[in-house]
Structures are given as C-alpha cells and as structure tokens.
Structure 1
Amino acid sequence: MNAALAFAATFLPGLFERVFGVEFRPWQRVYADAAMLTHSAGMLGPYDDVWWWDHVTHTHSATLLAGIVHVVARRRGRDPRPRVIGAVAVVGVGWELIEFAIHAVADRFGVEPILVPYGTRDTAFDLLFDFLGALIVLAVGDRLLGNFLD
C-alpha cells in the first residue's frame, strides 16, 4: 500500500504545476520524489533494520504536507503557523489511526496487515517527528518555497 501511494504521489508535482500554474525547482522535485522513494524502500527492510529510518520518513513526509499548507496559507494571506501545525497533527494522528484500524481488521480476519503498527511508543515517535517536519517548514518555508508564492 505504501509503495502504491508513494508511486502515485510522484505525479503530484506535475499535477500541481498544471493546475495551479506554479513551477517546481529541480531540487524540489527531487526532494518530493525522495520522500516517496524512502517510504517504498523502507518496506524492503529498513523500517525494521535501521532504527532511524522511520524517523526520517515521517519528518520528510511531514515537510511535504507542511510545505503545501504553508504555501496555500501564504497565497491566501493567512498566517501559516497554526495551519501547518494543525494539518500535520490531523494527518499524522489520522495515519496512525488508519494503521491501528488496518491491524485490528487484519487480526480479526486472520490475515497479514498491509500496514504494521509497532506500538504506542512508535506512534508517539512518529508524531514527534511529524511535528519536527512541521517546525522545519515553519523555520525555512518562506525562503525555500518562495517560488510558489509569486
């Protein structure tokens, strides 16, 4: 499931360019695609074998969501800070609930879950690193995402 979502997400920069009339810088495309690649590659073992992999992927993905929210808020003349924190919190908690629900349904039917929750400690760290991603965007978003504000 993660790999399919990640693959689909690689088409978002092109869609955003066509729909919203913005242009991604080359490094921004690479940054977005790298987030998708790290999630997909993680399913091959790094999530279980590399202790920090999950932290990096959560931070990276959160910066993408936070970046989108930041740009939308700025383009509408709004303060991005509460919107970025709120969006990252809602999506982060929502994702963790989806992981839990998928695991519960899989257990109920005796099948292997497509997403694996690793417990409450992991969930807390996931949300912590989601917030780190939000804070990074709040710190550098205006400077690094200015091309989307013109």
Structure 2
Amino acid sequence: MPLSEVPRTVAHGVERGVRSGIVSVLLIGVRRRDPGAIVNATLAFVAASLPDVIEHRYDVEFRPWQRVYASIAMLMHAVGMLGPYDDVWWWDHLTHTHSATLLGGIVYTASRRRGRDPRTDVIGVVACVGILWEGMEYVIHTAANRLGIEPILVTYSKIDIVFDILFDLVGAVLVIVAGDSLLENFDLEHGEPRPGR
C-alpha cells in the first residue's frame, strides 16, 4: 500500500501510540532524574502536536502518513536521550536526516508558495540551522559541564559535528528529490491562511 493510501484511522492510531511513547520517555526521564530526557520528551510532545495547530491555522490538511512521519521523528529524538544516542552508532545519523527532512519540507513548501525554486533555500536553511544547532549543543554541553550539571544536549566530538551536518544535508537532498510528489498537498492553492487567525 502506498504511503498516500494509509487510512486516516490507522494514522491517528499510530499518532496516539507515538505520543504515548513520548509521554513514556518523559516518565522514564522523571524516574531517572534525567533532565535531557525530560526536556527533549516535553519538546517532542509539543512538536508532535504542531500538525494539529498548522491545520487549524491554515487551510491545509496533512496526509495521514505525513502526520505519522513527523511524530515518529519526535519520538526518535526523545527515545534517543534514554541511551540510543550513546549506544546505537547510527541513531544520531538517522535522527539528523529525519529532522532535516522535516525542516527541509517546511522550507520547500514556503519557497514554492513564494514562487521560488526551493533547492537553494532548502540546502541553505538546513545547513545554517544545522550549524547553529551544533553550536548551541556545544555551548549547552560546555556550560553544563562547567556548572557540574547533566547537559540536556551532548556534543560527542568534532567528527560527530561533521557527520551531523552531513546527515542534515542528506535530509535536505531527499526533500529536493522527492518534494514535488510528497509535499504537493501544501501547494499555495491548497492552503491559504484562514482570515482572522
């Protein structure tokens, strides 16, 4: 079954399961007194709710698979804080690629709505945000170490930073290659801001 044909009821069930998983990560983080897991699970839960907010604000409708895809990205980040970022060598690469496709998709859609070719915008924004993210991770990790507290974000090494940005760019390229077919429901004629909102 193609992604575009996933029944809405199945997608909503998966979304509820994913959100429950994020709440479980939050509870485990509280039990372990792990600020990284707590903060990341909280932010992941909020981000997993964004498709609802966007649909309410704009006259667009996410396809069921798009909602699930975005929610799973948030769950992966939250779960990663419980150990996979440290223990599973490819976890960080996958989450960076996944997140970059979400950011790239937003940029792609915004560029298309402005009548622009989205390719350079997607690469530029994903690269810049990736570099800013890595800088923020480094500052937070360094400050937490100096204060003697558990960091909510971790920088592993210089090579890790290079790989993070590389996989961000992989996500951007995936959006450029598949954006026309996978994001057509967000084209301008499908979604104008609703008046008064």
Under a length normalisation based on structure 2, what TM-score does the superposition of the two structures give?
0.74
1:21 to 59, 83, 99: 59
Deviation at residue 104 of structure 1 after TM alignment: 1.5
Q: Which of structures 1 and 2 has the larger relative contact order (alpha carbons within 8 angstroms, sep 6+)?
A: 1
AA of the residue aligned to 1:97:
G
Question: Of residues 37, 41, 46 in structure 2, which corresponds to 1:3?
Answer: 41
Q: Which residue type is aligned with residue 30 of structure 1?
A: V
* Counterpart residue type for residue 87 of structure 1: V
Corresponding position of 1:133? 171
1:26 and 1:60 mapped to 2: Cα distance? 17
Between 1:102-111 and 1:63-72, the stretch displaced more is 102-111
What is the percent sequence identity of the aligned residues? 63
Tell me the alpha carbon deviations over residues 62-99 of structure 1, each in whole angstroms, 9 at most, x when there is no partner.
Answer: 00000000001101101101111111011111110111
For the pair shown, the structure with the greater C-alpha radius of gyration is 2
Alignment correspondent of 1:95: 133
Q: 2:183 aligns with which of 114, 133, 145?
A: 145
Tell me by how many angstroms 1:15 deviates: 1.1
Provide the residue aligned with 1:48 in structure 2.
86
Quote how far apart the aligned CAs of 1:107 are. 2.1
User: Which amino acid in structure 2 is aligned with residue 132 of structure 1?
Assistant: V
Matches within 5 A, 1:94-113: 94-113=132-151
Q: TM-score scaled to structure 1, two decimals?
A: 0.97
Deviating more after overlay: 61-70 vs 12-21: 12-21
Structure 2's unaligned 5+ residue stretches are 1-38, 191-197
Match of 1:66 among 100, 104, 113: 104
* SS at structure 2 position matched to 1:88: helix
- Residue matched to 2:162: 124
Provide, for residues 12-36 of structure 1, a one-character-per-residue CA deviation record: whole Å limited to 9, x for no partner.
1111111121100100000000000
* Partner Cα separation in structure 1 for residue 84 and residue 145 of structure 2: 24
Q: CA deviation at 1:108?
A: 2.0
Aligned residues: 150
Task: Return 5+ residue gaps in structure 1 as ranges.
Answer: none
2:74 is the counterpart of 1:36: yes
RMSD over aligned Cα atoms: 0.9
Does residue 123 of structure 2 align to residue 78 of structure 1? Answer: no
